[in-house]
């Protein structure tokens, strides 16, 4: 597998779509969605801008590819965070542990890769068809909440919209920390505490204390 930076020698690239998407993703990583520039991606791959149009309908199509990839990476981080902790014996405790891990993975990804995070939620001309409820992380969140209801930790009347509330809290935290005013309000060493407090609050709020 040839590295992106190395000189291309053959006339045919081999896997230009993937290479372009990768270069575009690197742009997103460095500068967010507005840095995803078709011509620059082509430049980095060592190919003429025109060549991109053989594989992507237009600029927005390329951006969309990067966005999907960023969302998948976010999902990966969330799942990794779940897997990184060791399961707890008590099923309730373990469900709560997973719940927190999902949120922590989310925010951690946003802080570690702000460019990709912003790209994952950027606006595109063509709307993304996939329902977020169809994605892995959302499924995991839903299942975790269902488990907590089944085990009697969350009262059934608190279940509706619980995933949206949890998502909103975690997303808001991520956004406000990544480029919002929270970062200016809060010394960086307090961020962990805020994230923990947010987790506590949502859990208390859903489980009714």
Partner DNA sequence: TGTACATCAGTGAACGCGCGTTCACTGATGTAC
Rounded to 10 deg, the angle between the 91-112 and 136-150 helix axes is: 150
- Judged by beta carbon, residue 46 or residue 76, the one nearer DNA is 46
Segment near DNA (CB under 7 A); pick from 5-13, 86-94, 110-118, 153-161: 5-13
70 near 119, Cβ under 8 Å? yes
Instruction: Compute the distance between CA of residue 78 and CA of residue 72 in angstroms, rounded to an integer.
Output: 10
179 contact, one of DNA, a copy of itself, none, CB 5-8 Å limit per kind: a copy of itself
Rounded to 10 deg, the angle between the 16-31 and 38-45 helix axes is: 120
Given 5, 156, 181, 189, the residue binding a copy of itself (CB under 8 A): 181
Q: CA 129, 29, 101, 206 torsion: positive or negative?
A: negative
12 contact, one of DNA, a copy of itself, none, CB 5-8 Å limit per kind: DNA
140 near 79, Cβ under 8 Å? yes
The mark string for 145-164 relative to a copy of itself (x by CB under 8 A, - otherwise) is: -------------x-xxx-x
Instruction: Compute the distance between CA of residue 96 and CA of residue 203 in angstroms, rounded to an integer.
Output: 8
Q: Which two tokens stand for residue 20?
A: 């372009």
Q: How far is the CB of 56 from DNA (least distance, A)?
A: 8
Instruction: Compute the distance between CA of residue 2 and CA of residue 39 in angstroms, rounded to an integer.
Output: 21
12 is a site residue for DNA (CB under 7 A): yes
Report the interface residues with DNA, using CB under 7 A.
10-14, 16, 37-40, 46-51, 53-55, 58-60
Report the interface residues with a copy of itself, using CB under 8 A.
121, 123, 127-128, 131-133, 158, 160-162, 164-165, 167-176, 179-182, 184-186, 190, 193-194, 197-198, 200-206, 208-209
């Amino acid at each position: 597998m040839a590295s992106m930076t190395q000189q291309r020698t053959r006339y045919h690239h081999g896997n230009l779509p993937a290479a372009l998407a990768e270069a575009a993703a690197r742009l997103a990583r460095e500068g967010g969605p507005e840095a995803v520039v078709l011509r620059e991606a082509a430049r980095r791959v060592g190919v003429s801008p025109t060549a991109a149009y053989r594989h992507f309908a237009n600029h927005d199509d390329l951006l969309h590819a990067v966005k999907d990839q960023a969302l998948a990476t976010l999902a990966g981080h969330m799942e990794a965070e779940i897997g990184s902790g060791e399961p707890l014996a008590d099923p309730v405790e373990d469900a709560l542990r997973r719940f927190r891990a999902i949120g922590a993975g989310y925010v951690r990804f946003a802080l570690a890769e702000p460019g990709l995070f912003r790209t994952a939620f950027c606006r595109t001309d063509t709307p993304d068809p996939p329902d977020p409820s169809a994605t892995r992380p959302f499924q995991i969140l839903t299942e975790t909440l269902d488990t907590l209801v089944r085990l009697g930790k969350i009262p059934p009347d608190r279940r509706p919209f619980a995933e949206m509330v949890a998502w909103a809290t975690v997303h808001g935290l991520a956004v406000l920390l990544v480029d919002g005013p929270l970062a200016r309000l809060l010394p960086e060493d307090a961020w962990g505490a805020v994230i923990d407090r947010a987790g506590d609050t949502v859990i208390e709020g859903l489980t009714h204390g």
